[in-house]
Chain A
Amino acid sequence: MYIKMCDICGNFAENKDEAKKIREDYIKIAINNNEKVILDFDNIDSSTQSFIHALISEVCQNGGEKVLKIMEFKNCNKAIRSLITTVVNYSLE
């Protein structure tokens, strides 16, 4: 499954309602089907910790380390990488 994030969130990804929708409608379904999910952050300048948390924290907590093999984060700039790393690190025990 391929998700072009900027088509949903614009170039500043901050709307948690949209993050929740992507998580529920795409990421969880892909993970349940053991299907690879590619989140493409091309053309997204930045985001917020809250947005990235709403996007992936729950699936990391529930699925554990193995979801990192299913999720691919494409075209992330340094800010987005930092936020994803932060959220993954605290979500996985």
Chain B
Amino acid sequence: MSKLYIPNSVALRNFDALFKGNDFLFNNGKVEINFHPNYVALHPVGLAFYAALSDLLRIKGCKFKGKINYSMRSIPYLQRMGLFKALGFRNPVKTEEHEETGRFIPLTKISNSQQLDVFIKNIDPILHTNRENSFAIKHVFSEILRNVIEHSRAEFGGNVCATYNRKKKKISIGISDAGIGLFNSLIVNHKVTDDQDAIVKALTPGISGATSRLGGNAENAGAGLFFTKCIAASTRNHFLIFSGNSYFKLKITPKNKVIAFNPNPMDDYCSFRKSLPYFNGTLVGIDINIEDNKAFNNLIDNIGQAYTQGVKRSQKTYYKKINFS
């Protein structure tokens, strides 16, 4: 029987905890899921990851059972975030139902454009944000979830969840799928050597899985992940992407370092790991705290300039020729 161990804590800063004692192979049809006996603290990136693993186990037709210490203090949080339901278990304890509003988005399945539309429309009432201050949040959700819908070929769609820390004004997001992964998505139109190379290409502005052309095609610019990474960088937050056997993590830029929007992710203040236990899918985790739309507008300008520099041969600008009225 294969084993899956859910550790004491999985967050963007200590993401490597995910791999402790795990190989994610699940080749013999039966999986035993064990939780850390005392406390399990999961950032949405961790919750989204286990939801994708659950999809993978369903695809493989695995039977799984879990061992939970009922005195584990984090059960109510994990239950509200929908982890046990996503893993196919009944909720282990009876908890008072709290209104989701203003605090969190539990694990939610997004499989098509219509579901994404509904999800985006409901963000403001759930997170207590409003139309005036949630541009960045909606931008991130839309860009990443559209990638899942369009490129992942995931049988069960994408998984998304988020928590909002009102005190720090920070939203933490996890998005995952058990699809074909970045390597298999990009290899169709690009020369890709391994999972790490696929991540580099996916983060490079202008490279899209939909076409071999730099700059994309009519529907894909190859910019969604680049913009998302830059949004995290702009507020000195983490951004992580894990696919196949590799992950890229944008580290928190120290305050004495200038924030840069690098077209080449290898130039970022980051950590890259390869030869990890293989994950059949794609996982994205990000923290953002942009509630100031003026800052977001300037940010879009700056990211746009960085994107253009990365993609375009000529640096000519057309701003004055665009007919705004």
Taking beta carbons and an 8 Å cutoff, which residues of A are in contact with B? Answer: 10-12, 14-17, 20, 23, 45-46, 48-51, 53-54, 57-58, 65, 68-69, 71-79, 81-93
A45 near B132 (CB under 8 angstroms)? yes
The interface residues of chain A lying within 8 Å CB-to-CB of B294 are 78
Complex formed: what's the CA distance from A78 to B307 in Å?
18
Residue numbers in A under 8 Å from B314 (CB-CB): 93
**Contact in complex: B325, A49 (CB < 8 Å):** no
Interface size (B, Cβ < 8 Å)? 48
Docked Cα-Cα span, A25 to B312, in Å, equals 28
**Residues B221 and A49 in contact, CB atoms below 8 Å apart:** yes
A73-B322 in contact (CB<8A) = yes
Cβ-defined partner of B223 (8 Å) among A50, A58, A74, A82: A50
Closest beta carbon of chain B to A89's beta carbon, Å:
5
CB pair A65–B219 under 8 Å, yes or no, is: no
Among residues of A, the one whose C-beta sits closest to the C-beta of B297 is A78
Scoring B215, B293, B323 by chain A CB atoms within 10 A of each residue's CB, the highest score goes to B323
Hey, which chain A residues are within 8 Å of B216, CB to CB? 53, 57
**Residue B242 at the A interface, CB < 8 A?**
no
Nearest CB of chain B from residue A65's CB, rounded to whole Å: 7
**A10→B123 CA distance, assembly (Å):** 14
Closest to B226 in A: A49
B30 adjacent to chain A (CB < 8 Å): no
Query: 9 A–B contact pairs at CB < 8 A?
Result: A12-B138, A14-B142, A49-B307, A50-B223, A72-B324, A85-B304, A85-B317, A86-B307, A89-B317
Residues of B within 8 A of A (CB): 113, 116-117, 120-121, 131-132, 135, 138-139, 142-143, 146, 206, 215-221, 223-224, 227, 293-294, 296-297, 300-301, 303-305, 307-308, 311-314, 316-319, 321-325
Q: For residue A86, which residues in chain B have a CB less than 8 angstroms away from its CB?
A: 300-301, 303-305, 307-308
**CB proximity of B160 to chain A, nearest CB, Å:** 14
The residue of chain A having its C-beta at the shortest distance from the C-beta of B131 within the complex is A45
Alpha-carbon distance A54/B208, docked complex (angstroms): 13
Closest beta carbon of chain A to B137's beta carbon, Å: 10
Q: SS class of chain B's interface: helix, strand, loop or mixed?
A: helix
Task: Considering the complex, give the chain B residue whose CB is closest to the CB of A92.
Answer: B318
Contact yes or no, B304 A54, CB < 8 A: no
A14–B139 CA distance with the chains assembled, in angstroms: 8
Chain A binding site: helix, strand, loop or mixed by DSSP?
A: helix
Beta-carbon contact of A50 and B221 below 8 Å: yes
A85 and B322 within 8 A (CB)? yes
List residues of chain B with CB within 8 A of the CB of A49. 139, 143, 221, 223-224, 227, 300, 304, 307
Q: Which residues of A contact B218 (CB under 8 A)?
A: 20, 23, 54, 57-58
Report yes or no: B304 in contact with A14, Cβ–Cβ below 8 A: no
Q: In the complex the two chains form, what is the Cα distance from A10 to B118 in whole Å?
A: 11
Q: How far is the CA of A65 from the CA of B322 in the complex (A)?
A: 9
Which chain A residue shows the least CB distance to B150? A16
Q: Is the CB of B322 within 8 A of A46?
A: no
Question: In the bound complex, what is the Cα–Cα distance between A58 and B217 (angstroms)?
Answer: 7
Tell me whether A93 and B312 are in contact in the complex, defined as CB-CB below 8 angstroms, given that A12-B138, A20-B219, A57-B221 are known contacts.
yes
Chain B residue nearest in CB terms to A74: B325
Complexed CA–CA distance, A76 and B300 (Å): 14
* Alpha-carbon gap, A73 to B321, bound state (A): 12
Whether A85 contacts B318 by the Cβ 8 Å rule is: yes
Instruction: Determine how close the nearest CB of chain A comes to the CB of B50; give it in whole angstroms.
Output: 27
Q: Which residues of A contact B224 (CB under 8 A)?
A: 48-50
Contact across chains for B131 and A89 when beta carbons are under 8 A apart? no
Chain A positions within 8 Å of B322 at CB level: 68, 73, 84-85, 88
